[in-house]
Amino acid sequence: MIVSSRIRELRRQVADLHAELPRNELVVWTAGNVSARVPGEDLLVIKPSGVRYDEITPENMVVTDLDGNLVEGELSPSSDTAAHAYVYKHMPEVGGVVHTHSTYATAWSARGEAIPCVLTMIADEFGGEIPVGPFALIGDDSIGRGIVETLRGHRSPAVLMRNHGVFTIGRDARAAVKAAVMCEDVARTVHISRQLGEPLPIGQADVDSLYARYQHAYGQEPAK
């Protein structure tokens, strides 16, 4: 009963968070997806394959195990499920994964170039450059392997998978969506900066200071 209640709530949360992707112009048509780990279980909740964003409901979200096998739901899981599942299996601290083809960040991925840390926002959220992961084909866990291999060596919650798009991780699905929104925003700003000249990098000591402040001191403390 507890697990069923938890899954029901996650279906609602994941369905609601999908609305943030088109709202922030990170996806078109049926591309992209959000998933969430079911706490304490080897399960995840994810968008079904090929469903338009205006047709997404809590009821048509699907549940799979960490091998990508359908556990609950009437529709086929997203084609990216294997990648999400691999991340959850190998990064136990991750509670949410997002995939987008947002225009500017994906343009960087098409060039195979990391987004340099030239903005305080990049230092705050990503702790340094936003790295590039390897090229991998869709259909098995190859993309997931590339995500894990790349992000294990970085503070960044985002990776630009070469010639593909953006994957972001977070402690929960909301945090992963936030990282996807911010990744596209800084990708656009740095691109525009490069039209004007060469962006100025931020020194490593300042990057470390900005990251520590944003991660540990920014925002409101929880009410006691």
Which residues are known to be catalytic?
124, 218
- State the Cα–Cα distance between residues 25 and 18, nearest whole angstrom: 12
- State the Cα–Cα distance between residues 7 and 35, nearest whole angstrom: 12
Determine the angle formed by the axes of helices 81-90 and 142-151, rounding to 10 degrees.
40
Element (H, E) at 82: helix 81-90
- Residue partners of 82: CB distance under 8 A and separation at least 6: 68, 139, 140, 141, 143, 144
Collapsing DSSP to helix, strand or coil, 39 comes out as coil
Query: Which residues on adjacent β-strands are paired with residue 37?
Result: 44
What would the 3-class secondary structure string for 128-169 be? CCECEECCCCECECHHHHHHHHHHCCCCCCEEEECCCEEEEE
